[in-house]
Amino acid sequence: MINRINFLKESFKNLKTLGTITPSSRFLAERMLRKIDFSKVEVLVEFGPGNGAITKLILEKLPANATLICFEINDNFYKQLSEIKNKQLVVVKSSAEKIEEELKKLNFNKTCHIISSLPLTIIPEEVTDEILEKSFHVLENNGTFIQFQYSLTYFNKLKNVFNQSISLGFEPLNFPPAFVYHCKKVG
Per-residue confidence band for 187, with pLDDT thresholds at 50, 70 and 90: confident
Cα–Cα distance for residue pair 171/25, rounded to 1 Å: 10
Kindly list the strands in the beta sheet with 111-116, ordered across the sheet, starting from the edge strand earlier in the chain: 89-92, 67-71, 43-47, 111-116, 139-149, 178-184, 166-171
* End-to-end CA, the chain: 44
Residues in the chain, total: 187
The residue that leads in pLDDT, 187 or 38, is 38
Q: What is the pLDDT, as a whole number, of residue 132?
A: 97
SS3 state at 122: helix
Among 121-125, 140-144, 162-166, the range with the most confident prediction by mean pLDDT is 140-144
Per-residue confidence band for 51, with pLDDT thresholds at 50, 70 and 90: confident
Residue pair 18/11 in contact (Cβ under 8 Å)? The answer is yes
| Structure confidence by residue, pLDDT tens digits, 53-88 | 999 999 999 999 999 999 999 999 999 999 999 999
pLDDT, mean of residues 161-166: 91
Give the pTM.
0.89
pLDDT, mean of residues 155-172: 94
- For residue 95, report the phi and psi dihedrals to the nearest 5 degrees: -80, 150
CB count in 10 Å sphere of residue 88: 16
Q: Tell me how far CA of residue 173 lies from CA of 11, 26, 156, 178, in angstroms.
A: 20, 9, 25, 8
Q: What is the pLDDT, as a whole number, of residue 3?
A: 52
| Structure confidence by residue, pLDDT tens digits, 7-19 | 444 444 444 443 4
Residue pair 182/167 in contact (Cβ under 8 Å)? The answer is yes
CATH code matching the domain that covers 2-184, chosen among 3.40.50.620, 3.30.360.10, 3.30.365.10, 3.40.50.150:
3.40.50.150
Q: Tell me how far CA of residue 164 lies from CA of 23, 102, 159, in angstroms.
A: 30, 28, 5
Per-residue confidence band for 107, with pLDDT thresholds at 50, 70 and 90: very high
